Amino acid sequence: MAGCSAPGVSIAVVPALSSFDRSSDRLVRNALLMGAVPAVVVAILVALFTTWWLGLIALVVVAAVWVGLVLQRVSRSVATVLDLIGAPPAGTGGHPRWENIVDGLCASSGVTQPELVVLDHDAANALVVADRQRVVLVVTTGLAEGLSQIELEAVGANLFGRIRNGAARFTTLSVGLPGPALATSSFVTRTVAEGLGDQQSVRSDLAAVDLTRYPPGVARALRAMDRIGTHIDGVAPVTAHLWMAPVVAPSAVDASVAMTALQPLDLRIAVMDEL
């Protein structure tokens, strides 16, 4: 794991909640509210067959258990996503050049001490998972070894931009909170698509430009990733919207999510070339 130059600083937050922060809070709030239905049903049944005060106790107990389960899933959301992509433990198989780039971005962006994970695969891709306490950057060996210094800086800036605006936490929660079985449900995918908004991939590239001040670097990184290839066999499609570039075929993902999060690299390159 790379250390950053300001180890005591927490993740920078903008003064007002971003749209991604609001979407994250909405995910948690809706999950908590869903527990009201089983709590009320159990309470009514207990009250009908015993007494009203036992029904009230049942209501409180079921609600408390539900809240505990939701908060546990929230706290494990990062670990859930890392398990789904088959990530090794943080700090294994490090790449000094990538670690140095992360150190520099920590100093310039206000983000502190992400854990670094290198996924052994020839494809060139990367993602970031985050919650309020933990941030993990994952890159493939194909990306870490196949991109130039400038291109790696652009990739890092894209990931750091997602941390700063709250997108990393939202996308992590969208998988980790419902779990892989429910994350593909129409309700969750609709929430994800609405939370991501229009052209999320292009907007993440623009956030990278804000950090690097060098649009050609972002375009070069996307070209290099496209040349090497970005698809990773065996990665759960439910994590597709967390990756910097398409990791699976768009047909494997809900169409509304694919439209904003799996935009073609040639489109994104063309946007960067216009800047």
Instruction: Please name each of the domains of the chain with its CATH number.
Output: 19-75 (no CATH), 77-274 (3.30.2010.10)
pLDDT of residue 90: 75
Q: Which of 218, 215, 211 has the alpha carbon at shortest distance from 109?
A: 211
Residues 136/114, Cβ–Cβ less than 8 Å: yes
What is the C-alpha to C-alpha distance for residues 193 and 274, in angstroms, rounded to an integer?
26
pLDDT band at 204 (very low <50, low <70, confident <90, very high): very high
What was the pLDDT predicted at 14?
39
Residues 55-107: pLDDT tens digits? 899 999 999 999 999 999 999 999 999 999 998 887 666 788 999 999 999 98
Q: Strands of 115-119's sheet, edge to edge?
A: 115-119, 135-140, 126-130
Query: For position 160, what pLDDT does the model report?
Result: 95
CA distances from 168 to 162, 165, 218 (A): 5, 8, 19
**Distance in angstroms (rounded) separating the CA atoms of residues 182 and 192:** 12
Residue 5 has pLDDT above 60, yes or no: no
Asked if the model's pLDDT at residue 3 lies above 50, the reply is no
**Burial class of residue 49, CB neighbours in 10 A (0-12, 13-18, 19+):** exposed
| Matching residue, tokens 């891709």 | 125
Q: Which residues pair with 45 in a beta bridge?
A: none
Percent of the chain with pLDDT over 70: 93
Q: How far is CA 39 from CA 45, 61, 73, 211, in A?
A: 10, 8, 19, 47
pLDDT in tens, 126-170: 999 999 889 999 999 999 999 999 999 999 999 999 999 999 999
Distance, in Å, from the CA atom of 159 to the CA atom of 150, rounded to the nearest integer, reads 15
In whole numbers, what is the pLDDT of the chain averaged over residues? 89
